[in-house]
Copies of this chain bind each other. A is one copy, B any other.
């Protein structure tokens, strides 16, 4: 059952992905090339096609992998704090995203940077892509379940959007908290993007401190 062939396939696939990630890191996702991977693998280009049907399929694999890793990091961070310590959970989750981005800048860029021209993400990516946001959403649900529903109104079109989002989660969440969640999500991703893509240079010398301070402000927003 082990299968020397099966094992070889797994290893080669992993090696291809590893080299592809390296290539994306150095030349950007737009210049990912199966031939170059084959070359550094000491293989012939056609052989790589035994493992990935196309360049785009390989790219999709890279994206899915990165989303999964980010999602796992957020889930682990969230789980590492007592479930009722909402502020701690929020801080841990937010920091895990920030840390992951700083440690894997090219992967963050692959997920949240400029889309690759000519590449359209297939539906397979939707699930993995929503893993980290689902973790954040569960935190919101937990907060409101414990502390009571928030009163307040959001603009009508957003009410509909939030209704659709709520459908995917066990306990409902109020419009206001969802709105605060959006605020925090946008701010968090914006701060990371600005930092990682160099827009805080000559502006903020301690981006880590800025991020922490922002996360605290978001905590005040989502936790009563």
User: Which residues of A are at the interface with B, using a C-beta cutoff of 8 A?
Assistant: 26-28, 30-31, 109, 112-118, 121, 126, 129-130, 133, 154-155, 157-158, 160-161, 164-165, 179, 182-183, 185-191, 193-194, 197-199, 202-206, 209-210, 212-214, 217
User: Which B residues touch A27, using CB under 8 A?
Assistant: 30, 117-118
Are A212 and B155 in contact, CB atoms less than 8 angstroms apart?
yes
Nearest 6 A/B pairs, CB to CB? A190-B190, A113-B114, A186-B190, A157-B206, A187-B187, A186-B191
Give the Cβ gap from A125 to chain B, nearest Cβ, in Å.
10
Copies in the complex: 2
Distance, CA A113 to CA B126, complexed state (A): 21
Inter-subunit contact A202/B126 (CB<8 Å): yes
A142 vs B182: C-alpha distance when bound (angstroms): 28
The reply to whether A115 and B193 form a contact with Cβ atoms under 8 Å apart is no
